[in-house]
Structure 1
Amino acid sequence: MKKFFFCPETLGLYPGAPYGDAAGKDCIELTEAEYRALAGHALALDAAGRPVLVASLPLTVEQLEAAERGWRDYELRRSEWLIARHRDEVDMVTTTTLSVEQYGELLAWRQLLRDWPASRAFPDDSGRPVPPAWLASLT
């Protein structure tokens, strides 16, 4: 039966026996199934020092927060044109595309987006501010 090894120091997989940079280092023996599941992928160490796929590592709080801030910033940019158009229409004293109620809902939602990082639910994406239902038909 062929043996398979993982070297935590090099993050490398070695069929047969450790070689090259892993020669003489402490390596972990793997089953053939483990080796085949890990081969060809970027690897990292879990808390126990075992190999895991990089994509399977949980995101850090900082990464989650950055992702949510990115989503929030995108939503603010994506809806900015509606605010600008409404203000232009008001300034030109023409009929506005948005009703007074819609404009108020849009402003309120955008404020919730700005306040989102201070929310108790942040950065859990299930707690994201919900846009007005009518917004999807305009953006």
Structure 2
Amino acid sequence: MSSKLAPLTLERVQQYLDQEELNYEVEEDGVIVFPYGSFIVWMAFVENQLEFASSWQGIFPSSERKTAETFIEKWNADNSTDQISLQADPEGDGLLVCTNGALSAEAVSDEVLDQFFAEQMTLAIRLCQQLDQDFPQFA
């Protein structure tokens, strides 16, 4: 790993994911997508940032909106974060629990990229484990 600062590019992120031995796809619009455990990850460059988003593969029915909102409020409070949100399922009438994070793409060392990725993946893994445990009926 290099501590040298360099712009973050799609190619550099792909090299990183190859090192991590993750099976990913790059969509036509440059979005990187891969499944991991009980969630799916999307990474994309938006403006001058690398955005990281993940979604639990379970879906809350729309009728359970209050249950999902209560879970998210508690999770965010307990974990001192605001990265967890509820979004409409674009393929149905359910609700998705998602994480969101961003890293400036201007000048990033390998260590900073590794730390960002590790933090985002750890958050997603912990969140999905809790959702799987608390809401197996929606998994």
User: TM-score, with normalisation over the residues of structure 2?
Assistant: 0.30
* Bigger helix fraction: 1
Higher relative contact order (CA 8 A, sep 6+): 2
Structure of larger gyration radius: 1
* Bigger strand fraction: 2
